[in-house]
Structure 1
């Protein structure tokens, strides 16, 4: 079922599906080096929008997004190496991060106090917050091929699971934890039984996994690969008929050649359950997985999009323009842009398409 969403549209519908970047605002005083991850505070009771930004310059910066769309720096803290991943506590009071220094750190936004909470034998590629019976917890995934669970009140992990290969990407939603590793393994864990794999599959995409992202209802997850494809995968076998993959982030064919680009990030809209893909080609798109339809595609933003996230209401879509290493060391030129952009989401951009039932 590949190609159902094809990113090309017929001329009749192209005007409806082309999105607009004219109101997008750049975050001031952003990182001085590549941006690896971004996250908004998820607490619906918090009136502020706080955005955490992880960077190769060894810092995590937390900004408050003002009503005019501008961001003001609130807190910044350091790692001893490039920072690869960042996430908020559910209540929005603390931020966790992990990076090349093999550590996980947590900062209290009220006091700016930072504490190391995790340690691995190799760089920490991904960190995610979750709760176990109301207790704040973190899971860290590393290139040392393990994931570890942490209770912030203890200095040693409360659980360790060994994966088949290095952890490249990880996401949590409710009790669903999905881990993507090297060699295309995808591990699914039910956090009620956190030290066992509930299921292991080989990615349905033929090339290296770049990102996994859980559905808002935790019934499944999306996978993005380096070869311009996205897969929609349900957890339970009974829903397997709903699984499919589609092509995206690729140029129109020129003769026998099609340029394809990595899908660097996938973010689900917190209200509508629709999702975004963003890639090395410098574009992002909004999709409706249930209608198998592309809602909007956007013009090139002037550089690879390395990371994306929606705020808690889905009214802001943040995307980081930054070098993603897709072309190796030589592609990292001095003038390459590094900035976080804030896209105000219009009411029709991410709404699911009404489903048309065939009689």
Structure 2
């Protein structure tokens, strides 16, 4: 069973958009928020964690990720900009500007590229450590809702139940090719184009740590698990299941599944829903491992630490009940759960 859980002091003041652990530390945590700020914490330096620094932006921040080390971060937001953030000095550098809000940002350490996905229906592929690099643009067929990468693949989940899978090596090569005037006219085809296994709008996507596939979730209380291997044998393994549903007065109330995160060692994954519940799943055995107590409001974001010891749960109103849910004050929190040694292990794992 879980040995401990605590809530971080000094949480954001508005809806949480992302929580991300550092690649080299199990206690260094970034949290981005609609309050136009990014928060850097050490979750275990003192009781309730320590807010190391708060970085202010000019618009709501929709995503954040670490870069090449624990002192570099990248942000995406409603100011349309993709920025590099020096976590030591606080310096912010704009790397590119989209034509609408930027929903997601992800850094591939293996290929040293940064990818941003915008509601202008494009990806920007950056070489963030190459001086004066102009990012190349990849057009998308629809508005991106969520994005995740593994060691070799990038999955972009979009409107119209469209999922594109890109080969990161090809994207890195594409980014290194200088565009000729007018810029950014190079074309790149995805590794695979897929229709979502979910019937309704995709809410989140997360890649497996073993680089084999991904999970996705929808607004209609379902998750799906798929594999990259295009063979008919692998594709026959994909499946979807119902989750995050509560019986109320004999009626099955369905909630959106806002967040997904894979355990880095065991390959199991956590889901977080509008019902305020976090569940752990064994993707291979197709079973729920456990379900935690209900949190005060909707689960907005999830992340496992690099060693798999901690699960961070970002909680804030998800507006599932419409305008009555608009009051945010006092309803935003970041919880750190310490996992027992076998708590997130799948069936038959030693």
**TM-score, normalization: structure 2?**
0.89
Give the match's secondary structure for 1:192: helix
Alignment correspondent of 1:227: 220
Alignment correspondent of 2:245: 250
Unpaired segments of 5 or more residues in structure 1? 1-18
> Relative to structure 2, which stretch is displaced further, 24-33 or 326-335?
326-335
Task: Quote the Cα distance in structure 1 between the aligned partners of 2:331 and 2:278.
Answer: 16
The one of 153, 159, 163 aligned to 1:182: 159
Task: Quote the Cα distance in structure 2 between the aligned partners of 1:52 and 1:59.
Answer: 10
The one of 271, 279, 284 aligned to 2:273: 279
What does the per-residue CA deviation read over 1:44-78, in whole Å, with 9 as the maximum and x for residues that have no partner? xx4x6210000011000111122566321222212
The one of 203, 209, 215 aligned to 1:216: 209
How do residues 124-163 of structure 1 correspond to structure 2 at under 5 angstroms?
Answer: 124-131=102-109, 133=111, 136-152=112-128, 153-155=130-132, 157-163=134-140
How do residues 255-334 of structure 1 correspond to structure 2 at under 5 angstroms?
Answer: 255=250, 257-334=251-328
What does the per-residue CA deviation read over 1:114-149, in whole Å, with 9 as the maximum and x for residues that have no partner? 21112100000000001465xx32100000000111
- Give how far 1:327 is off: 3.0
Unpaired segments of 5 or more residues in structure 2? 172-187
- Give how far 1:328 is off: 3.1
Task: Quote the Cα distance in structure 2 between the aligned partners of 1:221 and 1:272.
Answer: 14
Task: Quote the Cα distance in structure 2 between the aligned partners of 1:192 and 1:163.
Answer: 19
How do residues 1-359 of structure 1 correspond to structure 2 at under 5 angstroms?
Answer: 23-43=4-24, 46=25, 49-66=27-44, 70-131=48-109, 133=111, 136-152=112-128, 153-155=130-132, 157-194=134-171, 195-238=188-231, 239-252=234-247, 254-255=249-250, 257-335=251-329, 337-354=331-348
Give the match's secondary structure for 1:259: strand
* Distance 1:98-1:201 versus aligned 2 partners, 3 A rule: same
> Relative to structure 2, which stretch is displaced further, 195-204 or 149-158?
149-158
CA RMSD of aligned residues (A): 1.8
Give the total of aligned pairs: 330
Task: Quote the Cα distance in structure 1 between the aligned partners of 2:328 and 2:38.
Answer: 22
Contact map agreement 1:77 1:114 (CA 8 A) in 2: no
- Give how far 1:23 is off: 2.7
Task: Quote the Cα distance in structure 1 between the aligned partners of 2:191 and 2:31.
Answer: 32
- Give how far 1:321 is off: 0.8
What does the per-residue CA deviation read over 1:155-212, in whole Å, with 9 as the maximum and x for residues that have no partner? 5543211111111110111121000111211110011112321111111110000001
Contact map agreement 1:69 1:342 (CA 8 A) in 2: no
Task: Quote the Cα distance in structure 2 between the aligned partners of 1:82 and 1:244.
Answer: 35
**TM-score, normalization: structure 1?**
0.87
* Distance 1:207-1:154 versus aligned 2 partners, 3 A rule: farther
Give the match's secondary structure for 2:236: helix
